[in-house]
Amino acid sequence: MRRIIIGVGGVTNGGKTTLTKRLLASLPNCCVVHQDDFFKLPEHIEVGEDGFKQWDVITSIDMEAMVNTVTAWIENPAKFARSHGVTVCRLNEEHGENDIQILILEGFLLYNHKPLADMCAQRFYLTIPYEECKHRRSGRDYPIPDPPGLFDGHVWPMYLKHRCEMEESGVSVVSIDGLLSKDDIFNQVYTNIWNKILNFS
């Protein structure tokens, strides 16, 4: 059984979740782990020097728990898939060696945590310009609404900081233009993943 982990990272509101949902519906034996599911409780989020709760930093996420979840998938992807309601099948019934299990990691700080980044066989990174990002963010309805000034005072500066740190760390990513159509983004990533699967040992 072959296991492949795909990362879908990038800027907030860049299209990560939309892409991930479509990949999840299109790839065989595919599960997903969302980084957002590992946010700490609001009372455990510190207030930074910028005056805002520090949601957009790595310490706001229980990365150990996320890595443990991914490790559980690596140890037994079929069991993990079944427990998440994913029907497990073979790509080729005649050749068991062609069995493939796929895990998608989706989140905005996947590649700033080396243990997690190292688990990914492929790393996609969606980007959009400042104005588009701010526009999309303002149209989102979050469980905890953004306080006034959060985007310019915290969200965007943290994105630039973490993107710079990611680039300086030397982690290899496939950059995806988030302004492309949803179909173009999906087709580009989907084709890339299948090429990887076909050459994956």
Pair of tokens at residue 122: 């492929």
Query: What percentage of the chain's residues is helix, strand, coil (to nearest 5)?
Result: 50, 15, 35
Catalytic residue (one of 36, 118, 152, 184): 36
Contact (Cβ atoms closer than 8 angstroms) between residue 115 and residue 67:
yes
Please return the burial class of 30, using the count of CB atoms within 10 Å of its CB with bins 0-12, 13-18 and 19+: buried
Q: Is 36 an active-site residue? A: yes
Of 48, 34, 50, 21, the residue nearest 108 (C-alpha): 34
Residues acting as catalytic residues: 36
